[in-house]
Structure formats: C-alpha cells, structure tokens
Amino acid sequence: MPFNQQRMVHSPTGADLNLFVRQAEDKPRAVVQINHGLAEHAARYARFADFLSMRGFHLYVHDHRGHGATKAPDAPLGKFADEDGPAKVIADVDAIHDLIASECPGLPVILFGHSMGASVALNYLLEHSPRIHAAAIWNGNFSQGRLGQVALGILAWERMRLGSDVPSRLLPKLTFQAWGKAVPDHRTPFDWLSRDEAEVAKYIADPLCGWDASVSMWRDVVSMALNGGKDAGFAGVRRDLPVAIIGGEKDPASDYGKGITHLANRMRGMGFSNLASKVYADTRHEGLNEVNRDIMMNDFATWADSVLESFSNRPVGLLQGP
C-alpha cells in the first residue's frame, strides 16, 4: 500500500514541505519521523513505511529543502537556502515534529536519518533531544575531521570562482564519483548504493535522484557533518536517550563502516548508556534498498520495540517536550 497521505506543510522558514504520511495498520504505538539523504527524496521510503505500519508505527517523511517536491523561495533543487541552510533544514524538521505532536498526541517519536539525513537527525538531536523518544542514525560519517575542513576550503574556492548557486565541480568527484569507482567490477556509477541491481536502476532512472548539489548545499552538508563530530555539541543531550547507529561494511561513504564505529565509540565515551550499534557485513550505503534489507528492517523494528518497552512506564510528555 502506498502512503496514506501526501500534502504540503508550511514551515516557519517559508518552505512548503512535501510530506508523506503512512498510518499504522492497527492501533499506533509510536511515530517514526524519517530524514532522507542527499540527492534523493521522501517517496523512496514507501517500502520501509509499509513495513513499519504493519508493526504499529505511523511514518512521517518530508522532502528536505532543495529536494523532491518541497518548494521554498530560496531553495531550488540542489540548494538549501541563500543563508543559514542548516538552521532552516533543522527548523523544517521541527515544523514536522510540531505537526506530529498535534496529530499524534501522546505517541513517542523515533527520529530516523539516513546519510545526509543522519546528519540532519543528529543535528536536530543536539538541539532538541527532549522532544524525541529515540534516534536511529544510519549510514552517516561524523569522523571527517581534517578532510571535512579541506572540503570546506575547496568549496570556499569554488564559491569565489563559480558562485554558490552552481553545482560543485570538485565535491562530486571526491564523493559520489569516487565511491562509485571504489566498487570492484561496478556496472554503474551508483553501484556503491546497493548490491541490488534493480534498486540501483530505479535510482538512476529517477529524475529526482542523483543530481549534482550546489556549492552552497555541499557547504551546508559538510558543515552539519562536522558539527556532529564535535563532542561539545552533545553536552545538553540526556545520556539515557536510546540511539541506534547503523551502517554497512562495504559503504565507502561511511569509510566502510569506520564512521559508524567511530560515532558509537565517541558517544559511549561521553557516557551514553542506551546505545546500540552495528556494521552489517557486505552491505553498501542504502541499507533499506540492499539485498539484506529485510534483515535490517526487522532489526530496526526489534530495537524500536525494545525502546518502547523500556520506556512504557515513563510519562511520554516528559520525553516529547514542548
């Protein structure tokens, strides 16, 4: 079954957010709020939404600024905003969270993010952890450090030479193109996404996927990843928050799972006591579109069930916050 609803939600940032909702098949137990990755869109999460809806979860997923069918005066396809892109992306996520709170009062919210969406979710977590019940950070890399700073330097040079609103010439070569070439015997430039040839073909055929992001969007994406790499930013996050950090052993975007392990170890070192992490063998970047996706989705559902069980006696209002 497709999503139950598709509608536009106006954000205080001025964006009209294209939102998909999949309601639980039976009595809802929680809401999963999904954040998609770079150069893709919300509709690609329909299978995951169907899977979780049969297990008692509502699903909310919107197109981020500069993606899919979301519209904003300062955010054409491939660009977050003229200024303050990361802040506006986070504010949009908060606008959807407000909508969830009004439409699903009393239900806990599990924040989910894939790839760029993992950066969005983690940055939202750093600012608004009292509002969420748990977080799933999938296929992100927050250990770029010096490489991230080099990328910002390259983007500053491109901005000076080319401008902010044009596609970056160098970042795609250092990321998507390099990751594609890193796959042995690759058939297409996007085989780094999945071993499932049909899923890769769908991505390539989709006009809303695989486009080249602007210089400004790349700058904003790198900045969010670097922000997630700063321990100081976690100071206000409660240490008992359930967090699942997931990735693939064959994912070049997360340095072959090293980025997953790095974030998990950092957070454990900071005292996070309710943290689960796993790097799946032979798995590439898009776990939800990989050949072992059923295993990964079932593992997510099992983790989510355990989270809900462990917090069943807590007042949900204290978890959701204002």
Q: Rounded distance, CA 106 to CA 95, Å?
A: 17
pLDDT of residue 53: 97
Tell which wins on pLDDT, 159 or 285.
285
Dihedral (Cα; 240, 101, 85, 259), 10-degree rounding: 30
Q: Is the pLDDT of residue 43 over 50?
A: yes
Residue 320 has a pLDDT of 35
C-alpha to C-alpha distance for 174 and 311, rounded to whole angstroms: 43
Phi, psi of 32 (to 5 degrees): -105, 120
Q: What is the mean pLDDT of the chain?
A: 93
In tens, the pLDDT along 109-125 reads 999 999 999 999 999 99
Per-residue pLDDT tens over the stretch 196-226: 999 999 999 999 999 999 999 999 999 999 9
Structure tokens at 68: 């899919």
pLDDT at 2: 77
* Mean pLDDT within 267-273: 97
Tokens 């559902």 -> residue: 301
Give residue for tokens 């979301």: 70
- DSSP lists the bridge partners of residue 32 as 59, 110
Identity (one letter) of the amino acid at 116?
A: M
Residue 317 has a pLDDT of: 38
pLDDT the model gives residue 316: 41
* Per-residue confidence band for 313, with pLDDT thresholds at 50, 70 and 90: low
Give the architecture (CATH level 2) of 5-144+228-320: 3-Layer(aba) Sandwich (3.40)
Contacts 24+ apart (CB under 8 A), 178-187: 178/252, 179/252, 179/253, 179/285, 182/252, 183/252, 183/284
Q: In which band, very low, low, confident or very high, does the pLDDT at 321 lie, cut at 50, 70 and 90?
A: very low
Per-residue pLDDT band for 319 (boundaries 50, 70, 90) equals very low
Residues 41-49, mean pLDDT to the nearest whole number: 98
Q: So what's the pLDDT on residue 22?
A: 97
CB 17 within 8 A of CB 8: yes
Distance CA 65, CA 217 (A): 10
- Judged by DSSP in three states, 136 sits in strand
Please report the pLDDT score of residue 154 as a whole number: 84
Listed in order, strand segments (DSSP E) in 160-248 are 243-248
In this prediction, residues 147-176 reach a mean pLDDT of: 84
The percent of residues in the chain predicted with pLDDT above 90, rounded, is 85
